[in-house]
A and B are shown apart, each in its own frame.
Chain A
């Protein structure tokens, strides 16, 4: 009964969207358009929410944000937006926007002046630094902060205060992907871009509910499949999700037991002749867990332990489905894997990433149009601001490392600080940092644009440190669970009230203009940090940062000659175009669709002898001889396996209509109506055996506590698995999640916790 969608109808949809965005007079080329009829000015910008990075046109009328629509000229979303973005004006104009600084006095947060607040923070931080050393201070930032904001934080903490305790919430979502890319391909971030979506024959979506977490990417996948019925889609997820609308094959592993499935797929791919011998010979190393090199033959031997039957035993995925998946992957001329938290938020997140890369490397399905091993990023600027901007404890801006003396010297010189200011040892990673806060080792923390009291795993455990130590929270919204513990809350400008750059999943950096004045006394986060630096005595170091562009240009300079070269992405240019995909070394370079191969300026500049006999050269900082690495990662289960006492695997995730801790989406009644409260999904078979019926109140209990939810009895999670979306502050499921983390990436295993469930 499906009406057949013709190519013409698709074009019609897109064309409608384009005309809508194109009406009116151009005020600034590529940037601002006036619609004289309605009196609305439309400004080109980027969606505030997810890592897809959709282009938006923001409608402003009389200094107020009135509407948000898709930017038809943006290559990512071509005018389309998901429902969250549609309601963004509600967040901008919300009652819960914070308009003035607040200081805790006698246990209560009371309104204060900027002057008083800044003096207090500076004095406190300086005291702590003097009495306990720089490492008693810490910064905790966000993949939603602009690159310029994270850049200021890095300079203040790493360059001036002298501590590498600089972290951010991307540690909780993308660290394993970073680890995967660095160890497998030698450089962070994907080789391909979204352009591959329309060129591929097969999607392998592993641990990603793309339809809800990356809606516009999913829309592109769906459209591509609708127009090309031969395109196949394999899903690997312990839960059926709305993404299943497009599935040709779904593999259901028990949560945390999928590593064997990837190895078994590799096993079949090689056994059935799908390996690309030429690519293997000239482009790859094989290594075991101890980093010892092996031959392809030895890798094959390693895979003998992973027959589909053995993988079935470990994972619960039927052997025949694994074989089928491997054959589909092998037979397709091109294949694109995409994954997110289902693989990253795991005790073996890096390994899971490596094993997906393996599939592409051994079949040579990488570096050609339509083939890529493509990690989807959760937040809008996790790639740009934190991975590239160096907002983690071991990094410096522009893919530099704190452990490298030359890198410290280079960055210190640009910052105008002595190189000895930058510690040679990485600081504390997120979980270690909040543990140190609990222990009183860290005595002061600056939290920007994120809500760790709700979002940390095993969150309650870390409330102690937040309560006891000196906490500064810079936020646009109030209250949040984190401001409850703040000693000082600083009102931050939001989205349309500041300019800056966001870098999304596909290496694309996009500019966002300031459209309106900050509300109330709110200030731009980068300026707050700059002024705090001055107040703390770093007057000279922060004197020059009068505009966002000065910060961006300084940062951009640090990327010169790096794999993530952004020298060609000046504000001037970014204002006119719909983002640029790095490496983009010069102002006239168009950006790079595929890395490590023809058309990549870094590859093209390599001497001919290096490229001889190859089509890719993995030149990244962690690669040797231009080769990528196939890792022999053995099977490993979750950190907290189920037991007789806790027989269910609890897993968590996003839904389409809400975002993170709801400070933004919670401001839209329309979105709240859609999914008004938290719930737990339970398989009908499990519900029957537990005497639970739909909409019953149930208690979920893990080793960390219990919480009450409404049951949604539905054939989505596999038996033995329960699912809770994580957004609601009155039901912060992360309190129940496990904080066991990946020893490599230090990313916690949100995705598997042993739990039990009972009817109230």
Chain B
């Protein structure tokens, strides 16, 4: 007997949605960070951040999108620090940056050009690089056409200056393994 045997009208919607969730989604993927570890917005320099942040977790609680989480485990250097894993939930660059507002150690500071990293294509995984027409990263980039755009060869290209590393492209990438990652950037601190 399959689960489809008994479905009443009243049960339909709940079962339908559950079914969609169980068989359609399966979106949860491995938790360990692909690419570089990326910190919340407002970091002015990695060393400065690591020495200033007291791991109070306030930014984690303040993030309305549950984008900021605490890194546990292998990456000993950053363990316990707040990070963003774009594959789970990218940063949406809220206009008022509640994460920065609650940070009272000075680890996160509001700056003019917020940037948490920069996207980079992994060509061997990218579907567009294997002859498919895929534009998910381009279509979903909130900086429409400015940070990621379609090169004349039909493949995504990144403007490293404009890209703020929000990671929405990483989350939406339909390639498996993922075809785009966020790298830490030297210019991260907007120095």
Which residues of A sit under 8 angstroms from B150, Cβ to Cβ?
222, 245
Contact A216 B131 (CB under 8 A): no
**Measured between alpha carbons, how far is A2 from B151 in the docked complex, in Å?**
6
Q: Is A295 an interface residue (CB 8 A)?
A: no
Q: Select B151's contact among A3, A108, A666, beta carbons within 8 Å.
A: A3
Known: A83-B133, A96-B23, A99-B4. 8 other contacts (CB 8 A): A1-B157, A86-B132, A96-B19, A110-B6, A484-B9, A674-B140, A674-B172, A730-B16
Q: How far is the CB of B151 from chain A (nearest CB, A)?
A: 6
**Measured between alpha carbons, how far is A3 from B149 in the docked complex, in Å?**
12
Q: Select A695's contact among B65, B144, B152, beta carbons within 8 Å.
A: B65
Contact A2 B6 (CB under 8 A): no
**Measured between alpha carbons, how far is A13 from B42 in the docked complex, in Å?**
41
Contact A107 B152 (CB under 8 A): no
Q: Considering the complex, which residues of chain A in the window 1-37 have a beta carbon less than 8 Å from any beta carbon of chain B?
A: 1-5, 9-10, 13, 16-17, 20
Q: Select A675's contact among B16, B65, B140, B151, beta carbons within 8 Å.
A: B140
Q: Select B131's contact among A79, A111, A694, beta carbons within 8 Å.
A: A79
Q: How far is the CB of B70 from chain A (nearest CB, A)?
A: 22
Q: How far is the CB of A2 from chain B (nearest CB, A)?
A: 6
Contact A215 B153 (CB under 8 A): no
Q: Contacts A99-B2, A109-B6, A673-B171; is A215 near B27 (CB within 8 Å)? A: no
**Interface 1/0 per residue, A667-679 and B, CB below 8 Å:** 1111111111000
**Measured between alpha carbons, how far is A602 from B151 in the docked complex, in Å?**
43
Q: Is A464 an interface residue (CB 8 A)?
A: no
B binding-site residues for A, Cβ under 8 Å: 1-2, 4-9, 12, 15-17, 19-20, 23-27, 64-65, 92, 94-95, 127, 131-136, 138-140, 142, 144-145, 149-154, 157, 159, 171-176
A binding-site residues for B, Cβ under 8 Å: 1-5, 9-10, 13, 16-17, 20, 70, 79-83, 86-87, 94-96, 98-99, 102, 107-111, 211-212, 215-216, 218-219, 222-223, 226, 240, 242, 244-245, 478-479, 481, 484-485, 655-657, 662, 666-676, 693-695, 714-716, 729-730
Q: How far is the CB of A460 from chain B (nearest CB, A)?
A: 13
Q: Contacts A81-B133, A107-B9, A110-B5; is A226 near B27 (CB within 8 Å)? A: no
Contact B2 A693 (CB under 8 A): no
Q: 10 A-B residue contacts at CB 8 Å?
A: A1-B159, A82-B133, A83-B133, A83-B174, A98-B4, A479-B4, A673-B174, A674-B136, A676-B25, A716-B144
Q: Contacts A244-B145, A669-B25, A672-B25; is A80 near B20 (CB within 8 Å)? A: no
Q: Contacts A1-B159, A5-B151; is A670 near B175 (CB within 8 Å)? A: yes
**Measured between alpha carbons, how far is A86 from B2 in the docked complex, in Å?**
28
Contact B172 A675 (CB under 8 A): yes
Residue of B nearest to A673 (CB): B27
Q: Contacts A219-B154, A666-B20; is A657 near B27 (CB within 8 Å)? A: no
**Measured between alpha carbons, how far is A674 from B173 in the docked complex, in Å?**
6
Contact A80 B151 (CB under 8 A): no
Q: Select A656's contact among B24, B95, B136, B149, beta carbons within 8 Å.
A: B136
Which residues of B sit under 8 angstroms from A87, Cβ to Cβ?
174
Contact B153 A226 (CB under 8 A): yes
Contact B139 A9 (CB under 8 A): no
Q: How far is the CB of B119 from chain A (nearest CB, A)?
A: 15
Which residues of B sit under 8 angstroms from A110, Cβ to Cβ?
5-6
**Measured between alpha carbons, how far is A715 from B131 in the docked complex, in Å?**
30
Of B12, B20, B24, B64, the most chain A CB neighbours within 10 A belong to B24
Contact B134 A82 (CB under 8 A): yes
**Measured between alpha carbons, how far is A670 from B134 in the docked complex, in Å?**
12
Q: Contacts A3-B151, A222-B150, A695-B92; is A729 near B20 (CB within 8 Å)? A: yes
Residue of B nearest to A695 (CB): B92
